[in-house]
Structure 1
């Protein structure tokens, strides 16, 4: 029942492309579902990134998996494929060769989903959902930060939304320099700007007196912190609140994808 609801919503989105006045936005990070049959297909897997290297092309960078990949890609598990900027359906659709077969890619009206129908081998079709960053939550901090030399985040950290432009990092700290650096305090509350880099998945900012780069993984489960001035003070946090705020992509059969695409073609033709 849940699969049917998801596909009904998806279909409505694709139908809306026909009359939508919004501009397509293909670039971004996407989580890929597992409907492509890896036993018979070399499938885009897990995550894909679309960038715009020039005004005429898009670059698809992605993980791949599937039995044919070994021979087809000489054992590579990643791809970088250039595609023309889509022109069909007001820029929301393109039919092109992709990994050796003829594929139709359709972006839905609000640019959140991409449906891929493999026209040569339908069981190799799939779908991807745009990854949306969600930093807010509670994280368990690993022990990779060197407490002998650094004032480190320790045990747990919580990120809350302070305003539309700022987050607030509340955490325990530990390490030899903390005594002097924080006047003996064992906790901190530090505001940071809402991340804008990498479509909201990365920020480089001053944190506890040094320049740090924080990167959120596309599944919103981990934050990697690289201290750019003192790498030994780097670390990682793992989400423990169980709320990634990213609805899971539900696996679907190739038949549902084909019905979706067929209805879309009938309505928009």
Structure 2
């Protein structure tokens, strides 16, 4: 009976650790006009801060005053869109369905909008979690059969 309980505990643990599609590192393009705007520059890193929040950190370029980098907490989106405020400006953030591209859309100043393409994923992905889960399930089933 112990292997069945172990299997249930492992399944719940792994299932609860599914990675957010937002987590990873994204490389910005040059669509944000640095002559007019303060822009996210180069690598934008999105990591998990806690169960309800993500942390966004990125170098800045352009009209940013003395600010060289941004680090901010963002409420973890439940879908593929969210709104954040950078420099007091609202940005509609959209993650593509394949989770490879982020569009930063500034509706007030479109010249300050931009795009970033994923270049890495942080942490274990959902498919990796399920791979480990299946390995553990097969091992547990083999142990159950062996005990019978």
More helix by share: 2
Relative distance call for 1:168 and 1:133 in structure 2 (3 A) is: closer
Counterpart residue number, 1:193: 75
Q: Answer whether contact 1:158 1:169 (CA < 8 A) is retained.
A: yes
Cα distance between partner residues in 1 of 2:41 and 2:84: 19
Unaligned stretches of 5+ residues in structure 2: 1-18, 128-148
Query: Is the contact made by 1:219 and 1:246 (CA closer than 8 Å) also made in structure 2?
Result: no
Structure 1: gaps spanning 5 or more residues = 1-131, 248-269
Which residue number in structure 1 is paired with residue 36 of structure 2? 149
Q: Give, in angstroms, the shift of residue 246 of structure 1.
A: 5.8
| Counterpart contact for 1:133–1:216, Cα < 8 Å | no
For 1:202, which of 58, 81, 93 is the aligned residue?
Answer: 81
Provide the C-alpha distance between the structure 2 equivalents of 1:161 and 1:137, rounded to a whole number of angstroms.
9
Contact conserved, 1:171 with 1:188, CA < 8 A, in 2?
Answer: yes
Query: 3-state SS of the aligned residue for 1:178?
Result: coil
User: Deviation of residue 133 (structure 1)?
Assistant: 5.3
For each residue in 1:138-158, what CA deviation from the matched residue of structure 2 results, as whole angstroms up to 9, or x when unmatched? 111111000011000001110
Select 1:169's aligned residue among 56, 59, 62.
Answer: 56
Matched residue of 1:162: which SS? Answer: strand
Contact conserved, 2:23 with 2:121, CA < 8 A, in 1?
no
Aligned residue in 1 for 2:27: 140
Instruction: Identify if the C-alpha distance between structure 1 residues 172 and 232 changes in structure 2 by more than 3 Å, giving closer, same or farther.
Output: same
Q: How many residues align?
A: 108
Give the alignment of 1:1-269 within 5 angstroms.
Answer: 134-175=21-62, 177-179=63-65, 184-196=66-78, 200-241=79-120, 245=125, 247=127
In 2, the alpha carbon distance for the partners of 1:161 and 1:206 equals 19
- In structure 2, the residue corresponding to 1:240 is in which secondary structure? strand
- 1:245: how far off? 3.3
What is the CA–CA distance in structure 1 between the aligned matches of 2:48 and 2:112, rounded to whole Å?
A: 25
Aligned residue for 1:232, secondary structure, equals helix
Cα drift, residue 215 of structure 1: 0.5
Provide the C-alpha distance between the structure 2 equivalents of 1:237 and 1:228, rounded to a whole number of angstroms. 17
Distance in 1 (CA, whole Å) between partners of 2:80 and 2:87 is 21
Deviation at 1:207, TM superposition (A): 2.5
